[in-house]
Structure 1
Amino acid sequence: MPIGPDETASANKTAILAIILISYVMIVLDISIVLTGLPRIHAELGFSDAGLAWVSTAYTLTFGGCLLLGARAGDIFGRRRMFLVGLTIFSLASLVIGVSQTPAVMIAARALQGLGSAILAPSTLALLQTSFEPGPERTRAVSYYAAAAGVSAAFGLVIGGLLADGLSWRVGFFINLPIGIAMMMAAKRYVRETERTPGTFDIAGAIISTLGIVALVYGVIRSASSGWSDVATQAGVGFGIVMLILFAVVESRASQPIMPLSLFADRERSAAYAARALFLGANVGFYFFVAQFLQSVVGLSSSQAGIAFLPTTVVNFIIAMSAPRLIGRYGAGKVLVTSVVTGLIGMIWLSFAMQQASLLTLVIPMMLVGAGQGGALGPLTASGIVRVPSERAGAASGVVNVAHQLGSSLGLGVLVAVAAIGSQGLQGTELLARRASVAMETGSILIALTLILAVVFMARPRARLLEK
């Protein structure tokens, strides 16, 4: 029996969704896959304690700093083309990371990998918007996209731990090359090029925004080791703030801005961007500190620490996969608020549980944090692109991803800096336990702020945000 056009279109959309999700999983996975391998990377490459944070931050920083430029490139040159360019850069940088022998090479390659992600990520979300019609079809696609972010972040810790102990932390980066090549071949076959939008690059906006984000995050991270009285710390934070203010001025006057300020005219979208940054800042800090706590305080190996995250990962996955049905029944607003509250309870619980060097006291709060992630990211993603015209899909996707990565890098920097306050005189496991506990307390504050934004701007009765 011949295959009908509807069945062919459905098969093609399934292939497109698979390509988008696998590529996005690669991006997010590489944020977390190194965390359980950090102790081995620290010893093997000779990182300093303060410099170790840059293994994560170099990636998220260039990712967030270049996202707006990557999104604009997709609008102008075509999203499939930039998808392929980003995937190529990402895959080659992964290879360099896998063979790196010094901290400098490792950090430089992680930064280059972040650049590839900055080009790739906006294209994945924009292709999803243009490939799936509004309504139930897009609801499922966006939910799976958001689930990929949460689940792969948690799953990366498990993979990273098993690889660090069983083979090498390097293997996690080597496997990106064959997967990247396979996705490029599949994209050429199944993904159609999008219509290009005539225009020019807002080079001034791209440079100023990148300088501002880099300087701000550098200053915050430096404060952890040098303190807030340090001149370089103050200069970095001050310069970053000035650059970001200048960026807003430049964008208000640009004929074709890299980040149209009109995207922030919608209160729901603006709140979603801020809420996403706060939520991700807390949750990336959760993975960063808990992974080290499990190894350095509880005494687990890298693989054991990765396995210890499995309850978090499983709950995250179950809730994320159930999100479309839950949203259809209760509304996106209620699902979002309930998820954020669940994550907040888990984070507060963790801050107390970390005062004991026991894995059993951590399991339930870690599961609550995973449940919060699984239910919150879908509605936050939908609210970030709601009511956006198709010609602005790339720009809106870029801002969603900027909020995600800026929240990750700046949030981690803030948690590292705050965790270092008042820890003078402490040593060994006592020092690490106190820093982890303080980081969870700070993360709880960030999630509480997320909850306020969700209740005030996104939790409308009977809202069906994912269907808009």
Structure 2
Amino acid sequence: MSTNSDSGTAVKRPGLGLFVIAVACVLLPVSLAGPSVALPEIGEYLHADLTSVQWVINGYDLTFAAFMLASGSLGDLVGRRRVFRIGMAVFAGALLISAVAPNMLILDLARSVAGIGAAGVLTCGVASLAAMFEDPAARAKAFGVFGTSVGAGLAFGPFVCGTLNTQFGWRAVFYVPALIGILLLLASSTIGESRNPRAGKIDWAGTTTFTLALFALILGLLEGPQLGWGSGLVLGCLIAAVVLLGLFGVVERRVADPMFDLSLLLQRRYAALCLAVLALVFGFTPLLVYLPAYYSAVDGLSAAQAGLVLMMLTVPTLVLPLVTGYLAKWVSVRVLVLTTVVLTGAGVAWLTVIHPGAGALAVLGPYLVVGIGIGISFGVMDGAAVSAVDPARVGMAAGMFNTVRLGGEATGIAVVGAMLAGVTGAKIAGRTGGFDTRYRAQELANMVNQGDMATATSSVSPSARPAFQELLSGAYTNALHIVLWSLAGLCALAALILLVLDRPDKAASTAGEGVPAGDPAEAPA
């Protein structure tokens, strides 16, 4: 798809449209990473179990991933500004419902609906930028602003939401972005309307099977530690996920306009980059989600304090994409991609120095290394992915790549959550005999994984609480270390795959350089 052939209406002041889209794209990562700092308070206030609390993040990420390509296709058909506005209305409305939710079921459902709205905002916002800024230089500047906006949301989201949670309560984490979203909806007339006159049909069959497969997989992973991996529900979900993924593959091979062109995965370099981005999101996104709960449970930090500590991890992601643009003039993109995976894995492995009472200086080094690695990836991975395929397939390749990234985030959050809960429970099991707690080992593990150390320790006599907290903190920390080593190993494996599959040749020697970046905007569409 070429944006030059799109039909659309001119906008007298495209800078205002850029501002609206940029602010909207700040809200999207804020709504992913930000609420993670409020999960302990949400679980305590709504008396929720660990699985339902995890769906506050997983529900949003899952629908965001599953509906991104469908939203882009819908925007091509009926108008990108129209779908952007519908998406923003859905996003803001769902956040308002989240803010007033009386129970976890309503909150989780509202968050899932917010993810659908976010998909429309991102895909059609980015595609609208390409249509509004046809001059290559102006378009490059516009997408520079867009990238900085996404980085800013990711960098400052946990701190801002942590401060809102500490000062005004967890509902403010949803109220404030919702109100900003409403203002953006009112200002969205500044965005030019555009559509693709050659757009194909929406692949609803692929969207449905893909969404159901992700849902079944994540539900099975989250319920595994709670019900046992041999339970009927867990096995049924995991089997259903495999069957639905197979059905998805069949559907995509038969429909005229697939959301996933599976033949792209036969290209070695593109497949390697998809695996690399999976390793990166597994190694990074779960840290944003679960470290706030660790700091709350083990060190007793408030949401604002946890968000402030995490800025050591997130701020480099705001700065490094700009630096990467300059590095790419002298360093090959192949080397940069390999570097981002190696740095992320090394930083995650180094983070095993974390322990109860560890100060900010103890984790500053590993946080910076991970943040630098992920920041480099923000500046290089998408360009490398789209340059690995024929120019005519750039839009599909970028859309697939972003869907793999978001689907990987949702799956990574679920996998890490299951590992933390399961390993913590295993570490506690058999060691509570000397305490008069009424809770089972897995129940205690769930509490500390939610950041609720107080409820767990209050179940024993006051004189036994220090020793009991030490036991729970040690089990939780051991589980976190095992998870971190596993994620580091995944990054190491991804680095080896890159070395094998992404061998330099004539076609790939300039990958990422000279990318038809005028069309990164087509990525989500």
TM-score by length of 1: 0.88
SS at match of 1:434: helix
Aligned counterpart, 1:245 = 246
Match runs of 1:195-214 below 5 Å: 195-214=196-215
Q: 1:457 aligns with which of 493, 502, 522?
A: 502
C-alpha change, 1:56 and 1:462, in structure 2 (3 Å) is: same
C-alpha change, 1:141 and 1:342, in structure 2 (3 Å) is: farther
Match runs of 1:136-155 below 5 Å: 142=143, 145-155=146-156
Gaps in structure 1 of 5+ consecutive residues: 1-8
C-alpha change, 1:449 and 1:378, in structure 2 (3 Å) is: farther
Moved more, 238-247 or 385-394: 385-394
Distance (whole Å) between structure 2 residues aligned to residue 462 and residue 391 of structure 1: 18
Aligned counterpart, 1:227 = 228
Question: In the TM superposition, what is the alpha-carbon distance from 1:192 to its structure 2 partner?
Answer: 3.3
Question: In the TM superposition, what is the alpha-carbon distance from 1:60 to its structure 2 partner?
Answer: 0.9
For each residue in 1:87-121, what CA deviation from the matched residue of structure 2 results, as whole angstroms up to 9, or x when unmatched? 11001111111111211111010011011112222
Distance (whole Å) between structure 1 residues aligned to residue 66 and residue 27 of structure 2: 19
Aligned counterpart, 1:164 = 165
SS at match of 2:502: helix
Moved more, 318-327 or 296-305: 318-327
C-alpha change, 1:195 and 1:454, in structure 2 (3 Å) is: same
Question: In the TM superposition, what is the alpha-carbon distance from 1:454 to its structure 2 partner?
Answer: 4.4
C-alpha change, 1:130 and 1:248, in structure 2 (3 Å) is: farther
Moved more, 137-146 or 426-435: 137-146
Verify: 1:467 aligned to 2:515, yes or no.
yes
Distance (whole Å) between structure 2 residues aligned to residue 322 and residue 15 of structure 1: 27
Aligned counterpart, 2:474 = 430
Aligned counterpart, 2:5 = none
Question: In the TM superposition, what is the alpha-carbon distance from 1:323 to its structure 2 partner?
Answer: 2.5
For each residue in 1:4-54, what CA deviation from the matched residue of structure 2 results, as whole angstroms up to 9, or x when unmatched? xxxxx9995544443333222211110111111111111111111232211
C-alpha change, 1:335 and 1:444, in structure 2 (3 Å) is: same
Question: In the TM superposition, what is the alpha-carbon distance from 1:143 to its structure 2 partner?
Answer: 5.4
C-alpha change, 1:62 and 1:70, in structure 2 (3 Å) is: same
Moved more, 453-462 or 416-425: 453-462
C-alpha change, 1:417 and 1:54, in structure 2 (3 Å) is: same
Aligned counterpart, 1:417 = 418
Check the 8 A contact 2:387/2:511 in 1, yes or no.
Answer: no
Match runs of 1:21-420 below 5 Å: 21-131=22-132, 142=143, 145-264=146-265, 266-354=267-355, 357-386=358-387, 395-420=396-421
Gaps in structure 2 of 5+ consecutive residues: 1-9, 429-470, 517-525
Question: In the TM superposition, what is the alpha-carbon distance from 1:84 to its structure 2 partner?
Answer: 1.4
Moved more, 300-309 or 267-276: 267-276
Aligned counterpart, 1:4 = none
Paired amino acid for 1:184: L
Check the 8 A contact 2:28/2:153 in 1, yes or no.
Answer: no
Paired amino acid for 1:382: G
Check the 8 A contact 1:71/1:394 in 2, yes or no.
Answer: no
Q: What is the CA RMSD across the aligned residues, in angstroms?
A: 2.9
Distance (whole Å) between structure 2 residues aligned to residue 248 and residue 216 of structure 1: 16
Equivalent pairs, count: 460
Verify: 1:439 aligned to 2:483, yes or no.
yes
Check the 8 A contact 1:298/1:359 in 2, yes or no.
Answer: no
Paired amino acid for 2:105: A
For each residue in 1:167-186, what CA deviation from the matched residue of structure 2 results, as whole angstroms up to 9, or x when unmatched? 12222222223322333344
Aligned counterpart, 1:6 = none
Moved more, 378-387 or 51-60: 378-387
Check the 8 A contact 1:63/1:114 in 2, yes or no.
Answer: yes
C-alpha change, 1:296 and 1:263, in structure 2 (3 Å) is: same
Check the 8 A contact 1:32/1:154 in 2, yes or no.
Answer: no
Distance (whole Å) between structure 2 residues aligned to residue 318 and residue 23 of structure 1: 20
C-alpha change, 1:352 and 1:320, in structure 2 (3 Å) is: same
Paired amino acid for 1:457: D
Paired amino acid for 2:92: S
C-alpha change, 1:48 and 1:207, in structure 2 (3 Å) is: same
Question: In the TM superposition, what is the alpha-carbon distance from 1:161 to its structure 2 partner?
Answer: 1.2
Check the 8 A contact 2:131/2:194 in 1, yes or no.
Answer: no
For each residue in 1:181-240, what CA deviation from the matched residue of structure 2 results, as whole angstroms up to 9, or x when unmatched? 333344322323133434433322222121111111111222232232222111111111
Check the 8 A contact 2:80/2:193 in 1, yes or no.
Answer: no
Question: In the TM superposition, what is the alpha-carbon distance from 1:425 to its structure 2 partner?
Answer: 4.5
For each residue in 1:271-303, what CA deviation from the matched residue of structure 2 results, as whole angstroms up to 9, or x when unmatched? 333322331122111112222222211222111
Moved more, 262-271 or 70-79: 262-271
TM-score by length of 2: 0.79
SS at match of 2:315: helix
Distance (whole Å) between structure 2 residues aligned to residue 387 and residue 422 of structure 1: 39
SS at match of 2:295: helix
C-alpha change, 1:381 and 1:358, in structure 2 (3 Å) is: same
Check the 8 A contact 1:355/1:433 in 2, yes or no.
Answer: yes
Moved more, 376-385 or 31-40: 376-385
Aligned counterpart, 2:432 = none
Paired amino acid for 2:515: E
C-alpha change, 1:98 and 1:105, in structure 2 (3 Å) is: same
For each residue in 1:296-351, what CA deviation from the matched residue of structure 2 results, as whole angstroms up to 9, or x when unmatched? 11222111111112222332222123222222342433333323322222100012
C-alpha change, 1:144 and 1:341, in structure 2 (3 Å) is: farther
Distance (whole Å) between structure 2 residues aligned to residue 175 and residue 419 of structure 1: 31
Distance (whole Å) between structure 2 residues aligned to residue 306 and residue 420 of structure 1: 22
Distance (whole Å) between structure 2 residues aligned to residue 304 and residue 72 of structure 1: 41
C-alpha change, 1:128 and 1:36, in structure 2 (3 Å) is: same
C-alpha change, 1:438 and 1:233, in structure 2 (3 Å) is: same
Moved more, 65-74 or 328-337: 328-337
Check the 8 A contact 1:158/1:305 in 2, yes or no.
Answer: yes
Distance (whole Å) between structure 2 residues aligned to residue 454 and residue 152 of structure 1: 29
Structure possessing the higher radius of gyration over alpha carbons: 2
